[in-house]
Amino acid sequence: MTDVDFQAVRSEFELTEAFGAEAQAEADRAVDRCAEGRADRTDIPLVTIDPPGSMDLDQAMHLAREGDGYLVHYAIADVAALVTPGGQLDTETRRRGQTVYLPDGSVPLHPRSLSEGAGSLLPDQRRPAALWQIRLDADGEVTSARVDRAFVRSTARLDYAGVQADADAGRLHPSIAALPDVGRLRAAWGRSRGAIDLRLPAQEAVRSDDGWRLRVEPRTQADGWNAQISLLTGMCAAHIMLDGGVGLLRTLPPAPDDAVADLRRGAAALGLEWPATVGVGDFLDGLDVTTPHGLAAMADAVTLLRGAGYAPFDGAAPEQPLHAGVGAPYAHVTAPLRRLADRFSTEVCLALCSGAKVPDWARSALSDMAEVMKATDALSGKVERACIDLTEAVVLAARVGETFDAVVMRGEQVFVEDPAVIAKCEGDPPEGQAVQVRLATADPDTRKVSFAYPA
């Protein structure tokens, strides 16, 4: 059995689930502080789409065709209504910043009694939510968007694989029958504005009957359609905040011209056709990443997405408000149970849409949110990488000296499909080629894995 103990990673990064007694008590007795005047929209048959077994359900959706366009209802857990500003729970969540995920469980942003209970959009439960209402025309362009507080009820809990299977069989749940069309429209809308979707293999460690193993994380079309609804909502939120002169944007500067030129030269060297009239997003969308050359080109494209950050503003808009990855200004508002900034950005949007004053507790925290999210994004990334590195080293420890089939990516990294490993390779292997490499190092103590070429 391949046993991997992730407790060492928890200890290294000082991760603990335990909340202080007062913060835990606040979560246990959380009640809707905004119930008075909240609209009852439990008539909308919303559904959630999440990984199997998920309990911290932030979002629920309902899509309908409306004339030649679409009406999107997107309910987001109203965490701000359940957390008292300035209380112990508020203080603790500001320290944590976001839920940190490890293969054997999570270290949550909120106590589970809130994130998997009172605040979660679980099926058949009446829950407080920030309910977005977004109208799209036949081309997927937004014609109107607003968000209001409401009571909602999810009618079904779905997962990505199930939604994909239903879509393939022509039996999608009525509440999301329009999801494939809206998802495709919005993806095309983004590409027309330079949006970039990097489809690189994402590793995940999963438990099996004989221990832990590594695989490429499954990604269906349904994952992409679902993501488009979240991106759509984040873009609408950004425009509401920019129009209102206050908010917090998630930003990414446009790729420098020299980075795009380097990508074009790299694609040509790999023998990939890229007409001058085709934009970066469309070129990447057309790549077959199951081929060595396609995977190498996609890996090269990571250089286009550098410098992501958060931009708080109160008055003048940020000098650079764009998120180049989505082709528009964008904000995080759709995952408040798992990401701190969303609670504050959503509160700003609720106030702006209702014509109310943005609460001081939300407005004054925007600058702090940018710093908290920057720090905790870095922490989350380090934890994820440490867990994958550890699993790679443990899984491969007994196989040093063996030969593996691999594809050479950028920076002399190689991708081995089985087990799903991405690691450094010594010996100057040729980028974009299928090669054989020899496993040179697999050390669980240092979490280091390396290969050598030629094998």
* Cβ 94 vs Cβ 83: under 8 Å: no
Q: What is the mean pLDDT of the chain?
A: 96
Asked if the structure places residue 177 within a domain, the reply is: yes
pLDDT at 162: 97
The 3-state DSSP class for residue 262 equals helix
Encode pLDDT of 166-176 as tens digits: 999 999 999 99
Asked if the structure places residue 98 within a domain, the reply is: yes
pLDDT at 406: 96
For residue 338, is pLDDT > 90?
yes
pLDDT at 329: 98
Task: Tell me the residue length of the chain.
Answer: 455
Asked if the structure places residue 264 within a domain, the reply is: no
For residue 208, is pLDDT > 90?
no
What does pTM read for this prediction? 0.95
Domain count of the fold of the chain: 1
* Cβ 47 vs Cβ 158: under 8 Å: yes
Partner residues linked to 107 by β-bridges: 100
Asked if the structure places residue 371 within a domain, the reply is: no
Encode pLDDT of 249-277 as tens digits: 999 999 999 999 999 999 999 999 999 99
Phi, psi for 99 (deg, rounded to 5)? -70, 135
Encode pLDDT of 390-406 as tens digits: 999 999 999 999 999 99
Asked if the structure places residue 408 within a domain, the reply is: no
Asked if the structure places residue 129 within a domain, the reply is: yes
pLDDT at 1: 64
97, 233, 241, 249, 373 from 370: Cα distances, Å = 10, 20, 15, 9, 5
Question: Which among 340, 381, 392, 423 has a CA at the least distance from the CA of 98?
Answer: 340
Asked if the structure places residue 347 within a domain, the reply is: yes
Question: Which among 46, 49, 45, 44 has a CA at the least distance from the CA of 158?
Answer: 49
pLDDT at 433: 94
pLDDT at 411: 83
Encode pLDDT of 239-251 as tens digits: 999 999 999 999 9
* Cβ 152 vs Cβ 63: under 8 Å: no
Encode pLDDT of 175-205 as tens digits: 999 999 999 999 999 999 999 999 999 999 9
Token readout for 184 is: 């495709």
Asked if the structure places residue 184 within a domain, the reply is: yes
Encode pLDDT of 73-114 as tens digits: 999 999 999 999 999 999 999 999 999 999 999 999 999 999
Separation CA 274–CA 265 (nearest Å): 10
pLDDT at 325: 95
Range of the domain at 213: 18-192+202-246+320-366
Question: Which among 386, 445, 451, 454 has a CA at the least distance from the CA of 419?
Answer: 451
